[in-house]
Amino acid sequence: MARCCREEIVRLATPPAWHRRYHRPAEADGGCRSARHAVTLGAGVPPLGSRTRSPRVSEAGARESRLLGASLAVAVVVAIVTVSFGLVVGSQSILFDGIYTIVEAAMTSLSLVAARLIAKGADQRFQYGYWHLEPLIALISSLLLTFACLYGFLEGLNGIFTGGRPVDFDSAAIFYGVVTVFSAGFYLYLRRSGRRLGSQLLDLDARSWLVASILGTALGLGFLAGGLLAGTRWAWMVPYLDSAILTLVSVVLIPLPLRTILQVGREIMQIAPEDLDEQVRSVAREVAARHGFRRFNTHVRRSGRQRFVEIGLVAASQDAATTFRTLDRIRSEIAAALGGANPGCWLTVDFTAEDEWI
């Protein structure tokens, strides 16, 4: 069954961002980042939480990976059966459905690889972790599915203009009845499991099976109609029905990957999300006013689920004295206002007395 494309990749399979940060000592000559941190106080220190991975998070991540693996295996089996059945009954729309599912299954396997890499956290080469794989895989998947839909649309039109083709509609209707019931049951199972684990990826995968069951119902009804039309005065339409279904399915599916392309395109271009930017500026404004900072500046971006937030606070005077304990308390206030110990937020707070450093 064709399943909707994924918009995001990983959820609880990853530990909190600040748990696995890789820190390298500042070099003597100091690059831009090192120099900046040398003149600021407490920049980039983890705001909350332990530096060890929570056993609950690890257990939930392992269960999530097992469920995703099971979903992938089932999808591959269903896709192979669908392609084989499409070849037997001579249906282009069934064949397209199976190929579409195979493409999605391949992307799901890449998602599992990405989940494991992101769960490992940052290392010396990728010091911000592997979060960038989320939008990258989503983009590749969406492009492949878009091309598949365009091919299906053109192939369907070609079938209509060349006189269509005969199909065993009765067998096709029975096949999709069975597949639809199976897809609906698997959707309910994944949906319940996803809510228990708080997994966005499982939720998205469950929605894929929901779309599969809806499309299966539509295809089954279409094939049932084809079987009922045979032997009536509308029998001349029967050879065109399979190509018409293929064209319609392609048109219905293509908005899904196109929407994802637009979304991840903003992330890859590092366009600041308006909602996150507004939230961070509001928090920084309140903290600056409450603690007497004369100016602040913020930078935000999103990569998949991961949010990167940087806040710079300028002291009222270069002679102002404070303690690291006070600075850490301010940083904790900011972290709490942004959602507390959120595993999807990489927070850096800079304190300085010179405007040029923010």
Chain centre to alpha carbon of residue 160: 36
Max mean pLDDT range (16-20, 36-40, 167-171): 167-171
Q: What does the pLDDT read at residue 134?
A: 79
Question: pLDDT-based confidence at 330, cuts 50/70/90?
Answer: very high
Nearest in space to 39 (alpha carbons), one of 356, 252, 316? 356
Taking the alpha carbons at both ends of the chain, their separation in whole angstroms is 52
Q: What does the pLDDT read at residue 221?
A: 86
Tallying the residues shown for the chain, one arrives at: 358
Greater confidence, 281 or 116?
A: 281
The percent of residues in the chain predicted with pLDDT above 90, rounded, is: 18
Residue 285: both structure tokens together: 């404004």
CA distance 299 to 198: 28
CA distance 38 to 86: 65
How far, CA to CA in Å, does 143 sit from each of 45, 68, 150? 39, 22, 11
Q: What does the pLDDT read at residue 264?
A: 84
Residue 73: both structure tokens together: 């295996």
Query: Is pLDDT above 80 for 309?
Result: yes
Phi/psi at 272 (5° precision): -65, 125
CB atoms within 10 A of CB 318: 8
What's the rounded mean pLDDT across residues 36-40?
35
CA distance 44 to 29: 20
CA distance 277 to 299: 8
pLDDT tens column, 213-257: 888 888 888 888 888 888 788 888 888 888 888 899 889 889 988
The percent of residues in the chain predicted with pLDDT above 70, rounded, is: 82
Query: Is pLDDT above 60 for 48?
Result: no
CA distance 10 to 116: 9
pLDDT tens column, 125-157: 877 777 778 788 888 888 888 998 898 899 889
Query: Is pLDDT above 70 for 328?
Result: yes
Residue 317 CB burial class (10 angstroms; 0-12, 13-18, ≥19): exposed
Query: Is pLDDT above 80 for 43?
Result: no
Look at residue 307 and give its three-state secondary structure: strand
Domains of the chain: 54-268 (1.20.1510.10), 274-357 (3.30.70.1350)
